[in-house]
Amino acid sequence: MINRPIDAGITVNEMLRLHPATVSVLNAFGIDACCGGAASLDEAARRDGVDLDALLNALVAATAVEEAAR
């Protein structure tokens, strides 16, 4: 497992605000950012039946690509 800079306690909406490139990851995992955006990533993963580690790893990868593009 990688050491990830993303806290599972951050909300879905905050993740999108800080890292807009993560919208495709959240969509791919079926995380509801519209009505469920106030939930933490941890809560959203549990709610939507998503493996939290897989989600966080994918978000880390997306943010790394986003940072490299800057």
Q: What is the pLDDT of residue 4?
A: 58
Give the domain ranges of the chain: 12-69
pLDDT tens digits, one per residue of 22-50: 999 999 999 988 888 999 999 999 999 99
Alpha-carbon distances of 18 from 9, 12, 21, 62, rounded to whole Å: 14, 10, 9, 12
- For position 32, what pLDDT does the model report? 85
Other CB atoms within a 10 A radius of the CB of residue 62 amount to: 21
Q: Output DSSP code: residue 49.
A: T
Tokens encoding 24: 């495709």
What is the pTM assigned to this prediction? 0.86
